[in-house]
Structures are given as structure tokens and as C-alpha cells.
Amino acid sequence: MGAIFNAQQIVNGLQVGSIYALIALGYTMVYGIVRLINFAHGDFYMLGAYAAYGAFFAFNALFVGKTGLMAFVVLIASMAAGGVIALLANRLAYKPLRYKPKLSSLITAIGVSMFLEYFLSALPAVGPSYRSFPDILPRVNINLGNAVISNYVIIDIVIAAVLMVGLTLLIKKTTLGKAMRAVSQDKDAARLMGIDIEKVIAFTFLIGGSFAGAAGLLAGMTYPRIVPYMGIQPGLKAFIAAVLGGIGNIPGAVLGAYIMGLAETFASAYNSLIGEGIAFAILIIVLLVRPRGLLGEKIADKI
Amino acid sequence: MKRLSLILVLILVAASIVTAQDIKVGGVGPVTGEAATFGVSTKNGIMLAAEEWNAKGGLFNNRKVRIIFEDDKGDPAEGATVYTKLIQQDNVVAIIGTVMSKVTLAGAPIAQAAGIPMISPTSTNERVTMVGDYIYRACFIDPFQGTVGANFAFRDLGARKAAALFDIGNDYTKGLAENFRAQFLRLGGQVVAFEGHPAGATDFKAQLTKILAGKPDVLYVSDYYNDVGLIAKQARELGFKGPMVGGDGWDSPDLVKIGGTAVENGFFTNHYAAADPRPIVQEFVKKYTAKFGAEPDALATLAYDAANIMFDAIKRAGSTKGSAIRDALKTTNLNVVSGQVTFDANRNPIKSAVIIEMKAGKQVYKTTVNP
């Protein structure tokens, strides 16, 4: 059992979990506010990785020797790309369907996802092949005796934590956050109170998309190869994490993501041939016992 | 009118006498489509071989070889069409092709039914030559690489404890890993971990942590280069310093781009190495580079070898009859660029593999391992 449940495997699981968490936050926010499962969310993550890649090569010459500043610029580029594309997707694809049957938006989300993947593959500047992601920061391994942590793992976990805390503060303490909560509870009542719901929804997409973009950068740095289809699998896993934690619930998404990351790691270590199957079996069991997810609120059926 | 048709008949007869001098051989490869560079290399290799034979006076009785090359676009349906066209319209006596196993599997039954011998330069799928007794190939099949990798790890690297990591969704990587394990155990070694990962995975740390707990001397990674790069990086991050061994899926410039210095102390089995000092290799590399402006890759080399094996068989048969060429192929014993080739009962070549080492970000020829 020593090779399966040990400090190193916990570190491995937390790292996987932090990337899922950043993606899951966007899923859960959008669902909480517009009740839309935005399947294109994984592609905002991919766009974040490509934006970081582009920004690195565009500005690398300007920041020679200033790796910290460079990393910051790249982070902003990835978040901006994820956020702006999410905003555009909302404006062009989801808004016109806002009051149409839910299924139309869902299918459109799948369409947006495929469009982004294939459009980028067709662009000569991006292309369908793998690209190797540059080492933006030097890699340092820290030996803790019974576990090795790379500085990338720490960066992943810290950036994920900072963004999550920031988001929680935004939702709990600001007027905008209050408006977001109001829209998620009752759109019509919120509108009657003078809240511009479209503005709130747009803002939600912007934040969710920018978080996914940041996750893309972290994934690119940690697993240094990027491809237009890289968002599909993490997107699905993060969606499952959001459901596991209780979709629409922000701490739930983070909790679900870390559970997914750890479960996947332990399961793969226990038996790598059926590893992922075990992780998904856990999900099914949790949902059977607690269909609203771990932290999901019990919502009375709306009439 | 009568005179006109007589003249026409005469012209046709004359034309057929002139062309009868040339022996028509079909070449097939995906010159366009998803594997376009494979097709271009294949065509180059075949054309170079044909040119050399013709410069030496042809195949037999001063009859030169004429290659009719068709593009299969990497598509099985297209492959079937061009095989039929070559056989029925162009009346080729033999076919050299094609590259991708799925396309070769579409073309081979057509050649077999028509009694036209064919040799695929690079289709590694085991089923290809099982189509029938007219179907040969010039490359070794997948399981062989695992065996060679194990021999190299045990004998040359002196490893006694090995671990393997492979893609559970890919028969190629799984087959290599299974054959590596079987041979390593046969040699008396110990396999401390045998772990798979799902297709498309980017995080391999769970498996690697478990693998490294068994303290292996060598890690066998049979994935393709883009996964190998990530695996190597993560294995080094977790503190693995030993050698890594893999198959020809490593053969790409992107291996170093993704894996960086982590792939140092990495070795892989391949069909051929441009730096192999054997004279036949050096002469081929020189001629190819002069003609096409680039060093030949494994595809060009195997196409060149496949063409030479086929031409040699036609020469020894001294005939353009399919069955005669087939019988000559069976007794092939030829020194080609990728090694000394003979065929086993399943028409797969028995030949050596080379080991390439990743050193300072470059592929360096290490050694040749015999079967």
C-alpha cells in the first residue's frame, strides 16, 4: 500500500485537482446563474494556454532576465483570452437563445466547443499538431524527504487558491456579487429590483472564462505540450467535479475538483489499467447517495 | 480504311515491343493527406532505388524497371482503387507499397487475388502479411521492438529490475510493453511494475510514483514521442535518474522540444540510424541527401530497402511471372540499409534493429542489436 497512499501521491492528486478546480469554478458559476452547462468551457482553457504561448513568444525579448514579470504578463494574457472569448461566446451564441428551450443552448454550447477546436486547428498559426510549451519559469524540485514537490506544483496550488479566495470575496462582499447571487436565485425578481441581468451574466462569463484561461496556462506550464483538443478531457472532468460538489455551488466545485484529482491519482496508482474507471465509479456512488452533490443546496422543485 | 487500321495495328505492336523492354512495377504511398511526409519519403526511396538499378543495366536481360507511382492519400478506399488500377490498367508485375497498415490491408487482398507480389515498406500491423503468400514487408513488426528493447536493457545497460509504462488504449504501445516484459523475464530479470495510462492523459505521476517505489534500474516507455516527453519530464521530477528505453515512436524532433533534458539517458529501438557506420548506410545517406536535399528518414530508408528487395527478387526470378517472383522473395538473403534481411514463414523480415541514444538533445547511434 506504501506506493499508493503516501505523501507523494497526495501532492500529485492536489496538483491535478487545482487545475480541475479552476475549470470547475467557471462551469459552476455559469450554471448557477443561467442554468447552462457550458460545454465550451474546456475550450476557454485551451485558448488560455495558446494565448500564453503566443504572449510568451511575442514579449519574451522585452523581458529578458525578468522572468517574474514575464510570468505575470503571460498570466494576464491567458486570463484575458479565456475571458474575452467566453464573453463573445455568450454575446453571439448564448444570449440570442436565452429564453428558448434549454436544450437549444446546450446544443449550441457543444457547437461553440467544436467550432473553437476545429477553427484553431485550421488556423495556420495554431494548427492541429502538438506544440511544446516553453518553460516560462525555471523548474526547481524541492525534496521533502518522502515526497518531491516541483515549484510548478506549488505555483499551481497557490494561483488556484488565490483566485478562489478572490472569487469568494467578490461574491460575498461586493454589490456585483450580491447581484450575481440575486440573479442566480430568481431572475425575474432580480430584474424587477433593477438589476441588469444581462450585464451580470456577461460578467459571470468573463470571470469564468478568465479562470479557465489561467488553468490553461498552469496546465501548459506543468504538462508542456498543447494542442487544440486539450480542453476536452479536463473540461469533462471539471464538469463532473462541479456536479460532484453540487453544481452551482462555488466551494462545492473546489471540493469536488480536489476529490476528483485525488481519487483519480489513487485509483491510477492502485490499478492503472482500470484507474479512471474507479474514479468515475466513486462519482456514481456519491451521486446515487446524494444526488444534489456534496455541498449542493436542496432546492425545492420549481413550479 | 484497311490500310489505316493496318498502320494502327503496326504502331501498337511496335509500341508494345518497345515498352515490353521495361518492367513495370507499381509504387504506392500517401503523397497527400494526413501522412504526406511519409508518402513523399516513400516515393523518394523507391525512385532512388529504381534509378540505381537502371544505371546498372536494369533487372535482367537489360530490361529496365519503370515505376508507376500512385497516391493513396492515406485512405483505404483510395488505396483499393489505386491497387486495382495498377494491376488491371497498368499491368504491373509487382507492387511496392503502401505505408499505413490500414491502407495496406485494403490493397493487399487485391494483389493477392491477382497473384501480384507486393512488399510494404512500413506497415507494422501483424495482419498485413497474413493476407496471403504474395504479401511481404520490409520492416520488423511491433512485438520485435519490445524484445530488442529488453535485450538491450538487460545486456547492454546491465539492468536487472525493470518497469514499463504504456498507453492502454493503443495496441502498438501495449504490444511493445508486453513483449518487453516477456523477454526481460525470460532473460532472468525482474519486472517491478507494469502500468498503463489512459489515452490522452497528461499527468502520469500517480503511475510513476508507484513505479519508482519499486526502484527499477530501467524504465521502458513504449509511447509516442509527445507522451514520452511528458513522462520523461515527470519521472525526472519525481527523482528517477536511471535510463529510459522505448520504441520507434520516439523518433521525432519534438521529443526533445517537449521533454527537454529529461529525455537524456534515453534509448530507443529504430529501423535504421543515419549515423550507422556500415558502408551501405553511409553511401545511401550520401546519395539520398545529394538528390533530395534532406537526410533520409526511416520511411525513405525502408522504401529504398523494400524496392531493392523486390528488384533483387525479380532479378533472381529472371521472369515477370507473379508466382516466380513470389518464390524468389521467399529465399531473399540481402544486405540492405536496415540490415541483413531474410524472411520468416509469415513473410516478416528477420533483421537487426539499431539503438539510438538521446545525447545533448540529439539522436546518436549507439549500437546494432541482432534478433
* B110 and B23, same domain (yes or no): yes
In a domain, B285, yes or no: yes
Tally of domains within chain B? 2
- pLDDT in the model for residue A2: 62
Residue A267, pLDDT above cutoff 90 = no
Q: What is the ipTM of this complex?
A: 0.82
- pLDDT in the model for residue A300: 46
Q: What is the pLDDT of residues B165-212, one digit of tens each?
A: 998 877 788 889 999 999 999 999 999 999 999 887 889 999 999 999
In a domain, B4, yes or no: no
Share of chain B above pLDDT 90, in %: 64
In a domain, B370, yes or no: no
Angstroms from B31 CA to nearest CA on chain A = 19
In a domain, B133, yes or no: yes
How far apart, in whole angstroms, are the C-alpha atoms of residue B269 and residue B357? 9
DSSP element (H, E) containing B46: helix B36-55
Q: Which residue of A has its CA nearest to B255?
A: A132
How many angstroms separate the first and last alpha carbons of chain A? 51
Q: How confident is the model at residue B265 (pLDDT cuts 50, 70, 90)?
A: very high
- pLDDT in the model for residue B330: 95
How far apart, in whole angstroms, are the C-alpha atoms of residue A262 and residue A247? 19
In a domain, B362, yes or no: no
Q: How confident is the model at residue A139 (pLDDT cuts 50, 70, 90)?
A: confident
Q: Which of A6, A18, A121, A268 would you mutate first to test chain B, the one with the most B CBs within 10 A?
A: A268
How far apart, in whole angstroms, are the C-alpha atoms of residue B140 and residue B353? 8
How far apart, in whole angstroms, are the C-alpha atoms of residue B247 and residue B250? 6
Domain boundary, last residue among B270, B299, B334: B270
In a domain, A202, yes or no: yes
Question: What crossing angle do the helices spanning B36-55 and B279-292 adopt, rounded to 10°?
Answer: 110
- pLDDT in the model for residue A301: 44
Residue A250, pLDDT above cutoff 80 = yes
Contact assignment for B254 to A13 by CB distance below 8 Å:
no
How far apart, in whole angstroms, are the C-alpha atoms of residue B299 and residue B288? 12
Which grid cell sits at A283? 462519482
Query: Which residues in B have their CB inside 8 Å of a CB on A?
Result: 168, 195-198, 200, 202-203, 205-207, 209-210, 213-214, 226, 229-230, 233, 237-239, 254, 257-258, 260
Among residues A74, A52, A44, A86, the alpha carbon closest in space to that of A230 is found at: A44
Residue A242, pLDDT above cutoff 70 = yes
Residue with cell 473553437: A116
Q: Quote the domain boundaries for residue A144.
A: 22-231
Residue B288, pLDDT above cutoff 70 = yes
Amino acid at position B48, single letter? L
Q: How confident is the model at residue A302 (pLDDT cuts 50, 70, 90)?
A: very low
In a domain, A104, yes or no: yes
Q: How confident is the model at residue A89 (pLDDT cuts 50, 70, 90)?
A: very high
Q: Which of A127-131, B73-77, B113-117, B233-237 has the lowest mean pLDDT?
A: A127-131
Among residues B73, B136, B72, B115, the alpha carbon closest in space to that of B351 is found at: B136
- pLDDT in the model for residue B199: 81
Q: How confident is the model at residue B344 (pLDDT cuts 50, 70, 90)?
A: very high
Higher-confidence residue: B18 or B347?
B347
In a domain, B151, yes or no: yes
In a domain, A279, yes or no: no
In a domain, B231, yes or no: yes
Q: Quote the domain boundaries for residue B110.
A: 16-140+278-351
- pLDDT in the model for residue B7: 65
Residue with cell 474575452: A84
Among residues B314, B245, B307, the alpha carbon closest in space to that of B48 is found at: B307
* B65 and B78, same domain (yes or no): yes
- Mean pLDDT for B322-348 is 93
Chain B residues close to A223, C-beta within 8 Å: 202-203, 230
- pLDDT in the model for residue B96: 96
Question: What crossing angle do the helices spanning B205-213 and A7-34 adopt, rounded to 10°?
Answer: 170
In a domain, A2, yes or no: no
Contact assignment for B203 to A16 by CB distance below 8 Å:
yes
DSSP letter (8 states) at residue B64: P
In a domain, A98, yes or no: yes
Q: Residue B246 in 3-state DSSP?
A: strand
* B236 and B305, same domain (yes or no): no
Contact assignment for B238 to A148 by CB distance below 8 Å:
yes
Angle at A101 between CA A100 and CA A105, to 5 degrees: 80
Q: What is the pLDDT of residues B8-66, one digit of tens each?
A: 665 655 555 545 579 999 999 998 876 778 889 999 999 999 999 999 999 998 899 99
* B171 and B259, same domain (yes or no): yes
Q: Calculate the average pLDDT of chain B.
A: 90
Contact assignment for B226 to A225 by CB distance below 8 Å:
yes
Q: How confident is the model at residue A75 (pLDDT cuts 50, 70, 90)?
A: very high
By 3-state DSSP, what share of chain B in percent is helix, strand and coil, each rounded to 5? 50, 20, 30
* B31 and B122, same domain (yes or no): yes
Higher-confidence residue: A51 or A275?
A51
Most confident range, picked from A162-171, A249-258, B108-117: B108-117
- pLDDT in the model for residue B185: 96
- The answer to whether B324 and B234 have CB atoms below 8 angstroms apart is no
Which grid cell sits at A123? 488556423
- Mean pLDDT for A151-170 is 87
Which grid cell sits at A136? 516560462
- pLDDT in the model for residue A116: 94
Contact assignment for A225 to B229 by CB distance below 8 Å:
yes
* B218 and B296, same domain (yes or no): no
* B222 and B266, same domain (yes or no): yes
- The answer to whether B46 and B303 have CB atoms below 8 angstroms apart is yes
Q: Residue B114 in 3-state DSSP?
A: helix
Residue B98, pLDDT above cutoff 70 = yes
Q: Which of B237, B240, B241 would you mutate first to test chain A, the one with the most A CBs within 10 A?
A: B237
Tally of domains within chain A? 1
Burial class of A162 by CB neighbour count within 10 A (0 to 12, 13 to 18, 19+): exposed
* B50 and B89, same domain (yes or no): yes
Chain B residues close to A132, C-beta within 8 Å: 229, 254, 257-258
How many angstroms separate the first and last alpha carbons of chain B? 68
Which grid cell sits at A151? 515549484
- pLDDT in the model for residue B10: 59
Angle at B76 between CA B75 and CA B82, to 5 degrees: 90
In a domain, B311, yes or no: yes
Residue with cell 461574491: A171
